[in-house]
Chain A
Amino acid sequence: EDQVTQSPEALRLQEGESSSLNCSYTVSGLRGLFWYRQDPGKGPEFLFTLYSAGEEKEKERLKATLTKKESFLHITAPKPEDSATYLCAVPLSNDYKLSFGAGTTVTVRA
């Protein structure tokens, strides 16, 4: 069965303390892996798409990487404004409906 699992569930960081979030997936025929950021009560905000193992994407303090079985979202020198829930998702079937992980809630303290 196709699954997306994120860890840890929650991450509390001091400002400037770099860390990584994990997203593991079991999907046959990966059609891409998406990372989103979601603030409380808001819609998910698109961050990155990764398509093949070895691919990396960067945006400000965030870098996403992809292997054959998992993806990592690295947060470098985080700031309090990076506090949010980070979601990864993979499309199921040719229809591209997304299957989301449960998310990692990141809290960055000043």
Chain B
Amino acid sequence: DSGVTQTPKHLITATGQRVTLRCSPRSGDLSVYWYQQSLDQGLQFLIHYYNGEERAKGNILERFSAQQFPDLHSELNLSSLELGDSALYFCASSVAGKEQFFGPGTRLTVL
């Protein structure tokens, strides 16, 4: 158990819908990273938050957004969902500059 929690574990929804994925980092970690893993793309960095502030963006679609709250949990919002958004979404947390610990992931299926 990495200490990082993610909910829900599974999410099935339809095209055009909007979903929210939640992540709670390990106690004491200020950094939260979001990654997408699909079969053809591998693990891809989406966005990084540090202590409530956005620090970096990867190839994140404009339909996707995230935020980190004062209690340090983070949410990833995915809107206008398309079939191609089906993937595993992971968050990871770390002490700045150190190894990242990953949560169990949310499996998103868009029908």
Contacts and interface: CB of A to CB of B under 8 A. Distances in A.
Given A42-B105, A43-B2, A95-B48, A87 B100 contact: no
B28 interface: no
Contacts of B55: 95
B64 interface: no
A103 interface: yes
Contact of A100 (B43, B48, B88, B99): B43
Contact of B104 (A42, A49, A95, A97): A42
A97 B33 contact: yes
Interface in B6-57: 31, 33, 35, 42-45, 48, 55-56
A46 B101 contact: yes
Interface of A: 31-32, 34, 36, 41-46, 49, 87, 89, 91, 93, 95-103
Closest 3 CB pairs of A and B: A43-B102, A95-B56, A100-B43
